Structure formats: C-alpha cells, structure tokens
Structure 1
Amino acid sequence: MVSSTTAAAAPRRGWRWAALFATLALLVGCVAQPPASTPQPTHTLVVGATLEPPTMNPTASPAASIPQVLLYNVYETLVKMNAEGKLVPLLAQTWDISKDRTVYTFKLNPAAKFASGKPVTAQAVVTSFDRIKTEPSISAPLVEQMAVVKSTEAVDDTTVKVTLSRPSNLWLYDISSTAGIVYDPDGLATLDTEPAGSGPFRLQKWNKGQSVVLAANTGYWGTPPRLDTVTFRYLDANAMNAAMLSGDIDVVSNLQAPDAIDQFSDTSRFTVIEGTTTSEVVLALNNARGSLKDVRVRRAISMAIDKKALLDNVWNGKGTLIGSMAVPTDPWYEDLTSINAYNLDKAKQLLADAKANNLSLKLRVPTTAYATKSAQFVESSLRQIGVKVTVEELDFATWLSDVHNGGNYDMSIVAHAEARDLRRFTDPTYYFHYDNPEYNKEFEAADAAPADQLVPLMRKAVRTLADDAAAVWLFALPNLVITKNTVTGVPQNAATLSFDLTTIVHR
C-alpha cells in the first residue's frame, strides 16, 4: 500500500522529469539547426575607359575598344599572350609545330565549355577560323592575319590541325588576339549584340553611349573570376579624372590627361601604374593622295615636327619616341628617331625640290585626347614650313567609317594598338595606301625566316618604313593606369588589346 505522501510525490517527480526531457530536447533541437548563412560580399569593379565599342562583334570592326572589353574576359583563344608578352595555354592545353613549321596541332582542354554550357570542340575552332576566310563582312585586318592558313581540320573532338601555306613567325601571336577567338557556333547569328564566348565573364548589359556591364560566368570551366560584376564606363578625360577623384570609378584604364597625374599622388587612396603599351601614335599619311605620293613631301612633314617637344606638350613627356612601326616590347625594336628627324631647313628644301608650294592638307582625327592635342601641335609645326593644315575632329564611329574604312583624308592621327602590326603596310588597300613591293618582300622574308633570323630581317623592314616616311611616328603610348588602393592585380604593361580582368582583385 502506498502512503498518501508517496502517492503525492510521484506525479511531481514525473512532472520534473518531463520538464527536464523537454529542456534537453529543446537544447538538442537548437544544436541540430544549421547556423544562418552569412551573406557573401559582392565584388564589383568600375573601370573608366575612353572609347565605347561600336559593336560586340570582334570580327566586324577593327576598333581596339572591342577586345579591350571582351578579349580574355568574355572570349578566349587557343593561346594567350600574358603581361610579359609570352604565349601561354588557354583553350589549348598544348600545341606542336611540324619541322617545316607549317602544321600546328592543338590539343584542347577537355573541360573547356562555352557560356551556353556546350563544350568547346575542335569543330568550333574550325568554324571560327574558317568564317574569317569565307565571310565578306569580316574586318580586313583579321582576313590578312588568317590569309596564311591553308586549312583547319578537326582530327577528333579535342584535336585541331592547322596547316599554313608557308611558315609564319607571327601567326601564333596573331591568334592570341582577335583573329584567334573561338566562338560558340550556335551564337554566330547574334554576335553584334550577344557575345558567344567561353570566358570567365558574360555580357550582362550594354547601355549604349554610357557603359558595358560584365557579370561573372558562374559556369566557367576554368579558375573562377574574383569579381562578380565589372562595369566599363565611357568618359572623356576630364570627367574620368573627376570620377576617379570622387570615388565613382575604381580604375582609370589609361590616363588620357597625363599632366593630371599628380592629382593621384595620395598613396593612401590611389595606386599609379606606369608601363608600356603596344600602341604607336601614328600621323597617318594617305600615300595615294596628291603630293603625299612623293617621298620628299612625306619626309618634309616628318622633319617639320619636333617629336620630343610634341611628347612633352601633348603627353606630359610620358611615352617613348620610336621612329617607326615598332615599340620597345617588340623583339626587333630599335630607336630610329634619327631618321627624318626634326630639321626645319631641310624640310623646306625638300618641299622646294618637290615643287610642293602652297601645300594645303586636311588633318582628320578622332576625338581622343592624344589625337586632338597632337593635331594642334602638328598644324602649328607644318605652318612653319608653309604647309596649311585644316584640322577636323570626328567622333570615333565617323572616323572609322570615313577615314579608316573610306580613306577620305590627307593626314590623320590614331594609336595603332594591335601588337606587331607591321603587316598593315603590306596592304595597299588599307587606309595608309602604302604600296612598296620592296617592303612587302622584306616583311614576308622576315615572317617566313627561321626563328634565329627573324629579328635582323624584321629590323630591315622596319627601317625601310622609316626611310620611306610611310607615316610619321609621333610616340608610343605609355600604360598609365590609376586604381584605388583597394584594387590589385593590374599588370604594369599592356602587352595585348585586352584589359584583362582575370588577375584583378577588388578588396
């Protein structure tokens, strides 16, 4: 028999055990629940740039503003040129060259895929290379670079064989740039507005006249980018500097007002990067027009311009005087500034010998800072030898269509940004309209020569251009980049047309 006291205590003990179990269950439940995830910070970058791409199709226009945004970022090539100017694997893991240097065999990375999710196959490479040779709308410089290709063959899904009609020292470098882009064959119809690439970024939005926005390709086959979105904003030189000082942009991709560089001397806020580029600032001469057909007139124009004074006045002394179509990062570069150097008296005598009296020339330039500033200096210089120059400034789209494509000019000024672009002078239909069979032979001999003969033979060709005053080389643009001090990974030298985002980090 249970006493009343014991009977009363039993339910109280049961209640205490029930409460204890409930508390333990609550604690266990709390432990079992995963902690709330912490939102990851978004890594964005805003890059100030000068010229907006006229199209998103790299094969439709020679404008350097297209690969600046898209090359290596949205589009990829079999091989890539790094910041040191060396070729490294990209879509191709390896490549072999035959003993006679005419057959290239590329082994594709089997992991490579387009942004659409489809694999990058050997047939995609064949389609991309062949369309440059067959489609009439392809930009002429790309057609020239691929003219040496005899055939492209898909050996299997990941092996491509390219056969050249002759050896070419420059071809492998050419396909590290726009000519070598591999496109998703299913996206070819809409390339003007919708890129079809395999790169670490994809086009998110093109705000025409204002910006291009790239977003990380979340399905990228290689090392993921360390930026989530990148915006290229298009600004004139003064607006870009103001935006950088106010913190509205993170990077000035290439300072267009070098005399303003001291504004960014505060190292607690900014990092100033100074290096070299592949861009020759060229006073182009229309070799097929009037008095400019005469080499004496072309030499006189060169001799009338004090290039050192121009560089000091126009670009704050930043940059390199070159003398011909080669820059210091080219293996065959040598200082040729002594050829057709500044000499007003000799310039006047050459014009008199050519009977080029009362010469009047139209100088049509794009509205970029280096071109418009240089144009005023050139006009003043040529006035000293009796040459009247009328300067006309054009928006870049008009310059491309009317000057570059239409050849409607006497003189122009533009930075030729593509690396190792001596081939331009072998094409008499190109806007220089330079036609010298001797130069063509020298260039082709250098390109086809054994590797150990390339440099001396190419130097010979480069000197011929200088002697013949095929153009007037004002200076090579420096690479002047300003970043916030929270941005790292921007290379010192611009060895390609790409503003390569793959190495950049924004903390």
Structure 2
Amino acid sequence: MMVFFNRRTVLAASLMIGAATAFGPAPAQAARTDLVLGVRLEPPHLDPTAGAAAAIDEVTYANIFEGLTRIDRNGAVQPWLARSWEISEDGLAYTFSLQEGVTFHDGTAFDAEDVKFSLDRARAEDSTNAQKPLFAGIESIEVVDPATVRITLAKPNGGFLFNLGWGDAAMVAPESAETNKTKPVGTGPFRFSNWAQGDNVEIVRNDAYWGDPVALEKATFKIIADPGAALASLLAGDVDAFPIFLAPENLPMLEVDPRFTVAVGTTEGETILAMNNKAGPLADVRVRRAISHAIDRQAIIDGAMFGIGTPIGTHFAPHHPAYVDLTDTYPLDLDKAKALLAEAGYPDGFTATIKLPPPVYARRGGELIASDLKKIGVELEIVPLEWAQWLSEVFKGKDFDFTIVSHTEPMDIGIYGRKDYYFQYDSPRFDETMAKLEIASDTNERYALMGEAQRIITEDAVNAYLFQLAKAGVWASGLKGLWVNAPIQANDLTGVSWQ
C-alpha cells in the first residue's frame, strides 16, 4: 500500500494553487541534493562480507559496494559488475564478462583478479563471511583475461546468480579488504566519507563512478533507536526519511499529514521465536510443538506491531509464489499445549530465559510471549541484550533458550540445513530436500521442493513462526525513489532524488 493523497493534501494543494494565481508563479528553486535517512541500528562495522548484521547492508548495499549481480527493488536478479554471462549446457560453468573502466574508490582498477580474490576470500577455510555456505559449491575460479572470469561449480545450482547478488558477495580489493570494516572501499556510486560512531554514517557521491551518476551528492544515515525520538526527528525535519519506521502506532497520524508519504510494503523478514533445539526441554519436539500451540500470533502482531504484519506458519515469505500457508498447523490451543508438555515429562512446565535484541518487535513481542507461555506453566526470564551481546551470546555462542529475531535475508530457508546454526536443528530429511532443490532448475520443481522444506521445519516445530515483518516507510513528500518493498536488506539510494 502506498499513501500519496489524502484530504489535507488536496486542501493544501488547492491553497497553493490559489496563492499562485493571486501572486504569480513562485521562483524556481534548485532541488536538494542531500539526504538524512533515519536507521534503527548502528552497524557493528561496514564490511558486508564479514558480518551478519542487516544494518551493514542497509548502509553499504548498492551504495558503497557492488557485486557481479544485484537484486533490484522487485527482487529480480540484474547484471551489475558482470555485464553479461554464459552458462554451460551442464549448468556448471558460468563465464562472466565484466564491466570495463571500473575503479575502486581508492583509484585501484577492478578486474577479474578482484573477482577471484573476493570469492576465494569468501569461501576460504578461515573466512568470516556470514553467508559462507553460499560459496561452498564453487569448485574453481579462473581468470580468463582482465575482463572475463569463469566460475565452475561442483554441481548445478539454480540459485547461483541470485546468491551473487547478496551483499555478502560484494566485490572487494586486496589492497583495502582488511580495512573495510572501518574505511570501506567499494566500486559503488557513493564512497564512504565519515562515521561518527553512535550518531551517523555519511557517504558522498563518487564522481568517478563507472555507471549512471546518482542525483544525491551526500547521504547521512542517522542512527535513531528510540521510536519517540524517530517521530520527533521526522516532524521537526531533522530527518528526511525512515525507510523502516520505528513507531507503527503513529502511521495513521502521518498518513494525513501532507508533508509525508507513508508506504507500507513487504520484507523478507520472517520474525520468529527461535528455540535452541539442543537445550534442555526444547530438545524435545513435543515441547517445541507445545510452545507453538501456546502463542497467539495475531495478538503479538497487534500488541508489538500495532497490527502491521502478516501471520506466518513457516520460515518463508508469504509474497513468494512457493509459500505454503501453514498457520493452521499450530492453532492457539492451551489444552493441547499442556498435554504435549505433560507427555514430554513437564506437567508443571519449566523455567527458561528469553534473550531479546533491541528492535521494538523483539522487546514488545518478548513480553507478550512470556505472558502467553506463563499460561501453560513455562516461566520466562526476560534478558534484554544489545546487538553486540546478542551476536556474541545467542548467534555465535548458542547460549540461549528462546530469542526473537527477524531473519531479513532473502530466500534463507537453507539456514535450517546448517548444523552449527544458532538454533541447532539437524534433519536428514530436510537436508535431502534442500540437496534436490540446489540442483533443480525447473521452476515448478523448485517451488514444490521449497514447499516440502517449509512443511518439514513446521512439522518439527524448529521455531515458533510469528509474522512477516512489514516495511513501513515514511519520508518527505518531495522525496522519490526509495524502495517500498525490501526484497533484500538494503537502502538503495541509487535512484533517489528530490522533486
């Protein structure tokens, strides 16, 4: 849904027309070329190839760093630093023709050697890339000539070109890769300018950019975590836009204000109550199913997100044609939940911790879930964490019982096949399904396998699936080109301008 017009907008327009008629045309003013963009979270660093935090890509994707391909606003794969490619008949060899005349922001040339370096680095044994499995199927990378690179896979992968469009597959240079966390150097239309830690990240136009120039000369990503402060900064004009607005309860007020455009779209963010499948009672599938039966999804959407969000029953985006609606698998049924707990040996329930990262959906949702689970005898200790703590304790250390997080990576159901992933799920049946999906190229076959994978993880109640995170954006009415939907975690500013 996009909101462009309302009664007050029409009234304001009428008054302006009347004033123009009475006093003549207003003098033309040059369009602004700067932008202040509000973001919820400060990135831990600025290297998208070395971290899992969505906040990194929300600053750098398509702005500072680029890949061989890119994901556009519609979720489609587009050629980028690779202008074209050819795929061998057996589906194993991809020969990429690269854009020529491309340079990194430090003036060093981009060529096929940089592609080999970037992908070899991402798939190396000591790689810190958060999406290292994306590159595991690469068997070899051959530099044919400076403008041509051939990547050979061990087996066909129908999603390979999409994988290359992730921020984790961004092209980096050997001269600057080690310092990209604090001084990112990419090939994009913007270059890094300054990072005032705790406050903002600033990027400026790259006048030596190889592609179409961008309209903005400068963009500042202003870090505002508090919903009240976000609203105040928007109303005061200190911030021009919030691509993801923190206070959905204020959207009705902003919709009728002619100064703003409100656009509610979709994201790839499956918001889940994640459970440690190898910790205590939660190692028993009957307990996990009991938890799923005890949660009122719609109440969580209403209470934590003010009604903005779509209930889900599995880890898959509802807007995708392969989505299977499994929300009825675990209807709210406290008696069923208690019976499952008793069957598993916990007739009186148990105690556990729920570790919550900073986002509003997690903090508000955690309180509601604690209230829900108390009704079946499960007492939760709420432990709020900052992102660095969450990444260390939960994501890396697996030291948790429950947590709430939104997985915003696109098409990421494959994480359920990673044995060392934080919720520690292990299913040969799921692995077999994903192995078939990886080599399938027929669309209908791929969709059927995606559906099977969704059913398996729901049947195993790996996590309790809550809702698909909505993307509620608010920005100044004269600003054009921001994405309404979020097919990938990004604030792509390449098409943004003031009118």
Report the TM-score when normalising by structure 2.
0.92
What percentage of aligned pairs have identical amino acids?
36
Among candidates 389, 397, 404, match of residue 380 of structure 2: 389
1:400-454 per-residue CA deviation (whole Å, 9 max, x = no partner) reads 1111111110000011110011111111211010111111111111121232310
Partner of residue 116 from structure 2, selected from 108, 119, 126 = 126
SS of residue paired to 2:310: coil
Q: Secondary structure at the match of 2:368?
A: helix
Deviation for aligned residue 1:372: 0.2
Aligned partner of 2:180 in structure 1 is 191
Q: Distance in 2 between matches of 1:497 and 1:171?
A: 18
Alignment of 1:361-376 (within 5 A): 361-376=352-367
Q: Any residues of structure 2 matched to 1:22-421 within 5 Å, and which?
A: 43-134=33-124, 136-139=126-129, 141-235=130-224, 236-356=226-346, 357-421=348-412
DSSP-derived class of the 1:186 partner: coil
**Distance in 2 of aligned mates of 1:309 and 1:438:** 33
Task: Give me the whole-angstrom Cα distance separating, in 2, the residues matched to 1:60 and 1:85.
Answer: 23
The residue number in structure 2 matching 1:5 is: none
On the 8 A contact 1:76/1:199 being kept in 2, the answer is yes
Query: Which one-letter code corresponds to 1:155 in the other structure?
Result: V
Match of 1:458 among 430, 447, 450: 450
Paired residues, number: 469
Root-mean-square deviation (CA, aligned residues, Å) is 1.5
Q: State the match for 2:9 in structure 1.
A: none
Unaligned runs of 5+ in 2: 1-28
1:122, 1:40 → 2: CA distance?
41
- Give the residue type in structure 2 aligned to 1:220: Y
Deviations 1:109-149 (A, max 9, x none): 1132222233320110000000112252513x421111111
Aligned-partner residue type, residue 484 of structure 1:
A
Q: Is the 8 A contact 1:71 1:500 kept in 2?
A: yes
In structure 2, give the amino acid aligned to 1:243.
Answer: S
After TM superposition, the structure 1 stretch with the greater mean CA deviation from structure 2, 40-49 or 105-114, is 40-49
TM-score, scaled to structure 1: 0.90
Q: Give unpaired runs (5+ residues) of structure 1.
A: 1-38
Tell me whether 1:440 sits opposite 2:442 in the alignment.
no
1:74-129 Cα offsets, whole Å, 9 max, x none, are 00011111111111111111112222211111111113222223332011000000
Separation in 1 of the partners of 2:299 and 2:30? 52
Do residues 496 (structure 1) and 488 (structure 2) align?
A: yes
Q: Choose the corresponding residue for 1:430, options 382, 404, 421.
A: 421
Give the Cα–Cα distance (whole angstroms) in 1 for the partners of residues 463 and 285 of structure 2: 10
**Distance in 2 between the 1:87 and 1:234 partners?**
30
- Whole-angstrom distance in 1 between the partners of 2:30 and 2:149: 41
Q: State the distance in 1 between where 2:189 and 2:117 align.
A: 22
Q: Distance in 1 between matches of 2:290 and 2:160?
A: 35
- After superposition, give the CA deviation of every residue in 1:11-35 in whole Å (9 maximum; x if it has no partner): xxxxxxxxxxxxxxxxxxxxxxxxx
Q: Deviations over 1:335-366 (max 9, x none)?
A: 11011221111111100110123311100010
| Alpha-carbon offset, residue 184 of structure 1 | 2.1
Q: Distance in 2 between matches of 1:166 and 1:329?
A: 29
Shift of 1:256: 1.9
Contact conserved, 2:92 with 2:155, CA < 8 A, in 1?
yes
**1:261: how far off?**
0.7
For residues 109 and 438 of structure 1, the distance between their equivalents in structure 2, rounded to whole angstroms, comes to: 42
| Distance in structure 1 (CA, Å) of the matches to 2:370 and 2:118 | 44
